[in-house]
Amino acid sequence: MSVSKAEIGRRMRRFTETCRASGLKLTHQRMEVFRELAGTEDHPDAETIYKSVSRRVPAISRDTVYRTLATLEEEGLVRKAEILANRGRYDANMDRHHHFVCTECGLVRDFYSEALDELPIPKSIGTLGRVESTHVQLRGICSSCARGKR
Ligand SMILES: [Zn+2]
Ligand SMILES: [Zn+2]
């Protein structure tokens, strides 16, 4: 599934502004890696990002893509979507959102919910540590997997 042109534009603007503000050089390769991630809702892993970027930028190496993702993560420009325990998947949507995960095919989609944003945090968490962010993950069977089953 692809992200709207307007949203990609917004993500790219935020990306370039943040790079400028933090003094991170806007190299062609960084732009291309981020553009790839900004244009998809798939929350791809590094290997998938590498494969798609190298279709457009054949000269780019796997190592560069992996290092670029790590750098962008350090700078807060992308984040790891802790979705499927065994795969590091990336997310360029830095707005507050939640995830729907298909346990059958691994599809991941963003969704927004003010009600979930405001879920009360149990007091008992205080004994475990300080909460810095929350997100809700709904797991289930996506509609195309459900169709395939019938
Ligand atoms: Zn599915
Ligand atoms: Zn997401």
Tokens of 64: 């560069």
Ligand closest to CA 106 = 1
Ligand closest to CA 78 = 2
Kindly state whether residues 111 and 69 are assigned to the same domain: no
Say which CATH number the domain at 10 has.
Answer: 1.10.10.10
Kindly state whether residues 37 and 14 are assigned to the same domain: yes
Kindly state whether residues 69 and 25 are assigned to the same domain: yes
* Residue 129 pLDDT exceeds 80: yes
Say which CATH number the domain at 126 has.
Answer: 3.30.1490.190
Ligand closest to CA 107 = 1
Q: Taking the CB of residue 79, how many other CB atoms lie within 10 A of it?
A: 14
Quick: pLDDT tens for 24-63. 999 999 999 999 999 998 899 999 999 999 999 999 999 9
CA of 104 to the centre of ligand 1 (A): 5
> Which residue range is the domain that position 65 belongs to?
5-91
pTM value? 0.70
Total of domains in the chain: 2
CA of 126 to the centre of ligand 1 (A): 36
